[in-house]
A and B are shown apart, each in its own frame.
Chain A
Amino acid sequence: MNNQALQKVLIIGAGHNDIGREGQHDAAVTQIGAAIRKLGIAVVLVDNNAFSVAAENRFADKVYLEPLTVGSLTKIIAAEQPDGLIPALGGIHAVNLIQGLIRNNVLKNNHVRLLQWDQDTVDMIVNPALMSNRLKAIGEPVIASQVVASEAEAFAVIRKVGFPVIVKSVAPRIEASRQLCEDETDLQRALAMGFKVSATKQCIVEQSIVGYKELEFVGVRDQKDTALLISGMENFDPVGIHSADSIVFAPTQTITDQEYQQFRTATLRIMRRLRIVGACHVQFALDPATQDYFVIKVTPYFDRTMALAARATGYPVARIVANLIVGISLAEVKLPANYRKQTALIEPVLDHIVCRIPVWPFNVLKKVSHQLDTVTESTGSVIGVGRSTEEALLKGLRSTDESRYHVIANRPQNYSEGELIQRLIHPQAGRMLILLEALNRGYQIDELSELTKIDAFYFYKLRHIIEIEQALRERPFDVHALGRAKYFGFTDEDAADAWHSDIHKVHQFALENEIQATFKEIEPTAGEFTEQTNTYYSTYEFDNESQQQSGRRVVVIGTGANRIGTNHGNDYLVSQLLFYLKKADYQPVLVNANPNSVAMTPQLAAKRYVEPKQYSDILNVLAVEKPLLIFSTYHDYRLGQQLSKAGYHVIQINNNLPREQIKTNDSPAVEVITDGVDVAIFGISEIIAGNNLRSNVRGSLEVFPIRDKVENQAIKALHAEIKRRVLAFGVPGLYTLRLTIVDGQLQLATIEPMSIATMALISKASGSSVTRLLLHVKLGEALPKVMYDYPDVNQLKPVYVQANTFPYNQLQIYDDEEVTGEPGHATGTVIAHGETLKDALAALEAGNEDTDF
């Protein structure tokens, strides 16, 4: 490849967040865009994700907030004439678009090189049957499968291989899941869904390997064919539960060196034979009885597992891949001074254990099946990091928030034996509690392992957790019992609960007895070399490695897992906050356990703690950092209150109140900022019903700015009242004042803190971040100083519209009562613009052909 010619590259973003698309793509774009720009190559980014961090803050040279369609990309490519296209950052949707660009000769006609992959790799990613054939040709074992275009063909396959089978869609237009079919009914349903989302109206029917161990390996390779393994990971749950819905451990916990090397070799061989440049994720199924394996899936684009590999190892995957993409070899990669010179070439080794735990939307979407199977249902995940399997697991569970107090207290003790066995065989979300309860009732480990196909190793660990907990209960305020419990991942809260005591008393008792958290660095060499990743986790050992961050330290509490509805924009807010805190010469220290979070991008915070957000976990961090300030978001309101009470200066930044369902079609609002003395108006937004867009639309859209004369004049008239109402609120910040029409007159109705969605909308419309403004007024600066260079939004030409996206199709919810489109169900937000509202709406619709608004 002639690297000299590479002066400008195009990145296709992933679009709005969704199930399976949590932020890891935007995190990759953020890092890779920045790294490529540093190498002197211009970066053009196309995305329509309203919460894209990469699309703000100059992580790219030029950003197009345009629909992610072949048509719009064709225009952008014609206008920009990039030299290369980076295909691996936008998920499967981007791969589909690239296939369209190739088929329409757009790349060829504009002399754009496809970087990282051969063109036929694009076809293989989109069509698993092609991938399967290629893998077979290079000698990798794959599962027997066949492409079918009708039910009759599918049943012909069944006659040969028998049930159970897995059905997946060919060339799905969305991140479609594999469906396990045990009988005819399952098969018919899976085929109907598969044909519907398939661009070619085809499905693949394949032999089932349910119950095998599932392993995930991630490697990197450069153009000179140097390849190495970044991480080998193991699913706690067997094949049959989608890996996104499975608990995953890094490194592998139960496989032998022979098995591990078999997968390492296969991963690197696949990358070499497919000539993949960059990172690649390969999933395997292992028959534990015979060591035989199958390759399940090859994913050469960024996904949640690559994000996990990066977070788990501390290996700077994105930065290194950025170099590989533009033709630099692993041996030539220059990393920042905090890494050792050859770090890109060292195969990462871990001296800690990472446990990723999914988070499900079932508390919000009641009618969705809680059964865990081959369909992804989790909306996000968290990681627990520790020095033992127990500690990693307990910290992970704690980070999900589901088991806020502790795993034992929430156990389903009232289940009958029958119910328990049903739940063991047919796992549902929150199964860890079921497994613990079964052990507590005396089920034998080997029996449970046989029943669940989960390796017995884990049941010994779970039994150990129960033993520690029992010892804790039996010995109130016993130093050794507490020390032991904490050593294996329990907290002051757990002890307080076991001892029927108070967290503060337990915390004090622990401190008096020198049971104190120590922090260890997450770095890729297991202590063999000095690496400074500035990323730490807690454990209870001898040596503490985390020293207080120098400078004006502030601790920022991250958002945790991506959830449905209320917090899907929070990570954007936190990322922006970190960025502008650094700009303002603060040293932001992030506490976050979400491996897919953009906020975890190394450039954003000065230092990171991968920790749960339970009160005592945060106290441990604060004991080291002693920050000037703590920032928390609305999601952690209670925690913020507790920390304030403990004497810390906490700024609870913004909020993310779910917007009320707006009944009227047009509901204008005034968007303002105040420092507590002055009030400045950004402009008028309006929420309009979306049901004139598509037949099944239920959600509402937000438009900004509204330049309707009547409304603007009304605001002028209301100016004094707006100021009075906002100042009466008393707290510096961003606010939304809703207007209603009474007797034909616009009047102020309600005032509420501005939603993150509105912040993103105004930021993108103005090309300048309102998070920055929010931060500065929160820090006590005067409005004129903060706003001095902020553009007058009303002078800007285009109209921006924003809409929520919903996971109904993915979750297979077709029930009209549940498909309401209320903001609480949203997983993502898309943005579009146009000269007029009509143009903007057309762009919005064009970009989201497969999404329900």
Chain B
Amino acid sequence: MADRYLILEDGSAYLGEGFGSPAVSTGEIVFNTSMTGYQEIITNQIYHNQIIAFTQPTIGSYGINHDSYESILPTVKGVVVRDVASISTNRQRRWSLDQYLKQQNIPGISHIDTRHLAKQLRASGPMKASIVDVADAHAFDQLNATVLTNQQVAAVATPKPFPNPGTGLNVVVVDFGLKHGILRELSKRACNVTVLPYTATMEEIINLDPDGVILSTGPGKPQDLPASVVEMIQKIQNRVPLFAIGLGHELFALANGAQIMKLSPEHHGANHPIREVITNQIIYASQGQGFAVDPSTIDRNKLITTFVDLIDGTIQGLRLRDFPAFSVQFFPDGAPGPTEARDVFDEFVESMQQARGPIW
């Protein structure tokens, strides 16, 4: 395979071997420490416009599985690994990672000292990076000149509503770049789901007569979204049960007066202990966050902190004092990652049932 380079905005360059697409691409590079679930991570829209460096050394060893997509089309800008595996394909796994990245026009680079890269990124925070054929001054100039879009949600969220029919509770999911795991968990609970674009207004949502609303995960910085999103949340959270995840959680916090700060180092993995404040129980969940709610800006009369990351104390969950509206920063659906946080979907279902009153 061809020699290629991973170059970083601080001027460093790593020689490696190309796989996947031979395209040149640029994005923000982050490292992820999950040991399984590369397919779910690569197809998670939160990584829109980002290059993912996996610290797990062998990636691709079980190919691409038809039931492990977290979006229809991946929008990552690159995959950085120590080693990419060759595999035999079969009915469950029609494609190898290499083939898949070729199809999706995503470059990969292997033979990288990903441990050193992770340590470098741990110190620097995310940087712009490119996967290129030649690491010359021109390539660095191009990299430095590239301005990454801040319209990431617009790029990945659905432009049109679509249904995911079920026979149970009626749920509206507002899509900021949603992870399929959310729909999977709702399907398991028989919910009748309508996914709306993130530009949906309070009226559009209420017209669907939902039992509850979910604000989905998504990429980027919450402050980059139009103010109308926050206004929609402010109106809806008092009317129907609301559950917000990831970017949705950050928007929910903004809607309730808290500030969002850049998180350094970021969380990309599934191994941090997270304490549920009310029970004092410690759980593990999948995380992918570059931003966090600033704890000093929380209005304690309005919001309760429900989950805390025990490593750096970041807020991992919030709840409104007076309404059935709550949020989590982590990905409770797993995919990839531990499954023990899935209980919060049950909690959401319960809050919808309570709000609806007895069914009989």
* Nearest opposing residue in chain B for A484, CB measure: B111
Q: Are B115 and A528 in contact (CB under 8 A)?
A: no
Contact B113 A542 (CB under 8 A): yes
Interface stretch of the complex, out of B19-27, B60-68, B247-255 = B60-68
Per-residue B-contact encoding for A36-51, CB less than 8 Å = 1, 0 else = 0000000000000000
A265 and B339 contact, CB distance less than 8 A: yes
Q: Please state if A389 and B310 are interface contacts (CB–CB under 8 Å).
A: no
| Closest chain B CB from A812 CB (angstroms) | 37
Which B26-72 residues have C-beta < 8 A from chain A? 31, 33-37, 39-40, 55-58, 61-62, 65, 67-68
Chain A residues closer than 8 Å to B114, beta-carbon distance: 351
Task: From known contacts A331-B310, A342-B311, A389-B83, infer whether A257 and B56 are also in contact, taking CB-CB under 8 Å.
Answer: no
Across the interface, name the chain A residue whose C-beta is closest to B312. Answer: A342
What's the minimum C-beta distance from B341 to chain A, rounded to whole angstroms?
A: 11
Q: Which of A258, A268, A353, A526 contacts B58 (CB under 8 A)?
A: A353
Q: Is the CB of B282 within 8 A of A330?
A: yes
Q: Is the CB of B116 closer than 8 A to any CB of chain A? A: yes
* Complex contact A351–B115 (CB within 8 A): yes
- Would A257 and B83 count as touching, CB distance under 8 A? no
| Per-residue B-contact encoding for A261-275, CB less than 8 Å = 1, 0 else | 100110010000000
CA distance A59 to B264 in the complex (A): 42
Whether B271 and A457, one on each chain, are in contact in the complex, defined by CB atoms closer than 8 angstroms, is no
Residue of B33, B37, B39, B86 near A526 (CB, 8 A) is B33
Q: In the complex the two chains form, what is the Cα distance from A277 to B86 in whole Å?
A: 41
Complex Cα spacing A237 to B271, Å: 28
Judged by a CB distance under 8 angstroms, whether A301 is at the interface is: no
Check if A449 sits within 8 Å of B88, measured CB to CB: yes
In angstroms, Cα B39 to Cα A123, docked, is 43
Q: Which residues of A contact B271 (CB under 8 A)?
A: 346-349, 525
- A226 x B281 contact (CB < 8 A): yes
Interface residues of B in 214-258 (CB under 8 A from A): none
Q: Are A261 and B336 in contact (CB under 8 A)?
A: yes
In the bound complex, do residue B282 and residue A265 qualify as a contact, i.e. CB atoms below 8 Å apart? no
B334→A351 contact, CB < 8 A:
no
Instruction: Please determine whether B122 and A388 come into contact, CB atoms closer than 8 angstroms.
Output: no
By beta carbon, the residue of chain B nearest A347 is B271
CB-based contact A542/B116 at 8 Å? yes
- Give the contact stretch, choosing among A246-254, A426-434, A498-506, A604-612: A246-254
* Residue A350 lies at the interface, judged by CB distance under 8 Å to chain B: yes
* Alpha-carbon distance A453/B128, docked complex (angstroms): 44
Q: How many residues of A contact B (CB 8 A)?
A: 51
Is residue B159 within 8 Å, beta carbon to beta carbon, of the partner chain? no
* A71–chain B nearest beta-carbon distance, Å: 43
Per the bound structure, the CA–CA distance linking A347 and B265 in Å amounts to 18
- Give the chain B neighbours of A224 by CB distance below 8 A: 280
Give Cα A457 to B86, complex, Å: 7
Nearest CB of B to A275, in Å? 16
Q: In the complex the two chains form, what is the Cα distance from A264 to B280 in whole Å?
A: 21
Bound-state Cα–Cα, A158 to B159, Å:
62
A11 at interface (Cβ–Cβ under 8 A)? no
Please judge, given known A-B contacts A331-B282, A543-B116, whether A253 and B273 are in contact too, CB under 8 Å: no
Query: Is A16 in the interface zone, CB < 8 Å from B?
Result: no
Question: Is residue A255 within 8 Å, beta carbon to beta carbon, of the partner chain?
Answer: yes
In the complex, whether B73 has a CB less than 8 A from a CB of chain A is no
Residue of B nearest to A446 (CB): B88
Q: What is the distance, in angstroms, from A651's C-beta to the closest C-beta of chain B? A: 35
From known contacts A265-B339, A345-B273, A346-B311, infer whether A258 and B115 are also in contact, taking CB-CB under 8 Å. Answer: no
Question: Which residues of the other chain, A, contact B36 by a CB distance below 8 angstroms?
Answer: 252, 255-257, 260-261
Q: How far is the CA of A268 from the CA of B113 in the complex (A)?
A: 33
- Expressed in whole angstroms, the Cα–Cα distance for A527 and B40 within the complex equals 22
- A637: chain B residues at CB < 8 Å are none
Contact mask for chain B residues 329-342; partner A; CB cutoff 8 A; 1 contact, 0 none? 00000111111100
Q: Is B284 an interface residue, CB under 8 A from the partner?
A: yes
Contact of A345 with B116 in the complex, beta carbons under 8 Å: no
Q: Is the CB of A253 within 8 A of B56?
A: no
- Residue in chain A with minimal CB distance to B37: A257
Beta-carbon nearest neighbor of B85 in chain A = A457
Q: How far is the CA of A168 from the CA of B268 in the complex (A)?
A: 45
| Assembly CA distance A528 to B119 (angstroms) | 7
Given known A-B contacts A251-B35, A254-B61, A257-B40, A526 and B310 have beta carbons under 8 A apart: no
A388-B82, A388-B83, A528-B118 known; A251 and B284 CB under 8 Å?
A: no
Query: Which residues in B have their C-beta under 8 angstroms from that of A529?
Result: 122
Question: In the assembled complex, which residues on chain B have CB atoms less than 8 Å from the CB atom of A346?
Answer: 271-273, 311
Contact between B62 and A254 (Cβ–Cβ < 8 Å)?
yes
Chain B contact residue count (CB 8 A cutoff): 51
Q: Tell me which residues across on chain B come within 8 A of A486, comparing CB atoms.
A: none
Contact, CB under 8 Å: B58 / A349: no
Find out whether the CB atom of B83 lies under 8 angstroms from the CB atom of A251. no
B269 interfacial by beta-carbon distance below 8 Å: yes
Decide if B87 is an interface residue (CB 8 Å cutoff): yes
B100 at the interface (CB under 8 A from A): no
Contact with B along A285-324 (1 / 0, CB 8 A): 0000000000000000000000000000000000000000
Tell whether, in the assembled complex, residue A541 and residue B113 are in contact, meaning their CB atoms are under 8 Å apart: yes
CA distance A268 to B119 in the complex (A): 31
Q: Does B345 sit at the interface, judged by CB under 8 A?
A: no
Task: Determine the distance from Cα of A508 to Cα of B33 in the docked complex, in whole angstroms.
Answer: 37
Tell me the nearest residue of chain B to A340, going by C-beta: B311
Measured between beta carbons, the chain A residues less than 8 angstroms from B269 are 349, 528
Bound-complex Cα distance A462 to B121 (A): 33
Residues of chain A lying within 8 A (CB to CB) of residue B116: 541-543
Distance in angstroms between the alpha carbons of A347 and B337 in the assembled complex? 11
Kindly state the separation between the CA atoms of A215 and B86 in the bound complex, as whole angstroms: 21
Chain A min CB distance to B40 (Å):
6
Question: B284: which of A347, A350, A527, A542 is its contact (CB, 8 Å)?
Answer: A347
User: Is there an interface contact between A349 and B34, defined as CB atoms closer than 8 Å?
Assistant: yes
Residues of B within 8 A of A350 (CB): 35, 56
Name the interface residues of A413-467: CB closer than 8 Å to any CB of B: 445-446, 449, 456-457, 460-461, 464
Residues of B within 8 A of A251 (CB): 35, 56
Q: How many whole Å from B55's CB to the nearest CB in chain A?
A: 4
Verify B61–A345 contact, CB threshold 8 A.
no
Check A457/B338 contact, CB under 8 A, given A256-B36, A527-B119: no
Q: Could you tell me the distance in whole angstroms from the C-beta of B100 to the nearest C-beta in chain A?
A: 14
- Are A388 and B58 in contact, with the CB atoms below 8 A? yes
* Alpha-carbon separation in the docked complex, A433 to B272 (Å): 41
**Contacting residues, chain A, for B86 (C-beta < 8 A):** 460, 464
Interface flag for A175 (CB, 8 Å): no
Pick from A348, A388, A460, A528: contact of B87, CB below 8 A: A460
CB neighbours (8 Å) of A330 from chain B are 282
Alpha-carbon gap, A461 to B113, bound state (A): 19
Residues of chain A within 8 A (CB-CB) of B334 are 257, 261
A510 to chain B, nearest CB (A): 18
Interface residues of A in 81-109 (CB under 8 A from B): none
Contact of A351 with B88 in the complex, beta carbons under 8 Å:
no
CB-CB under 8 A for A351 and B273, given A228-B284, A252-B36: no
- Closest CB-CB distance, A13 to chain B, in whole Å? 33
B316 to chain A, nearest CB (A): 14
**Chain B residues with Cβ under 8 A from A464's Cβ?**
86
Known: A261-B337, A330-B282, A543-B113. 6 other contacts (CB 8 A): A257-B36, A268-B340, A349-B56, A527-B118, A528-B33, A528-B269
User: Chain A interface (Cβ within 8 Å of chain B)?
Assistant: 224-226, 228, 232, 251-258, 260-261, 264-265, 268, 330-331, 342, 345-353, 387-389, 445-446, 449, 456-457, 460-461, 464, 487, 520, 525-529, 541-543
- Could you list 15 examples of A-B contacts with CB < 8 Å? A255-B36, A256-B36, A256-B37, A261-B338, A345-B282, A351-B55, A352-B57, A387-B57, A525-B33, A527-B31, A527-B55, A527-B118, A528-B55, A528-B118, A542-B116
- For the complex of A and B, 8 pairs with smallest distance between CB atoms: A257-B37, A257-B336, A347-B271, A543-B116, A527-B118, A526-B55, A345-B273, A542-B113
Residues of B within 8 A of A (CB): 14, 31, 33-37, 39-40, 55-58, 61-62, 65, 67-68, 82-83, 85-88, 111, 113-116, 118-119, 122, 265, 269-273, 280-282, 284, 310-311, 334-340
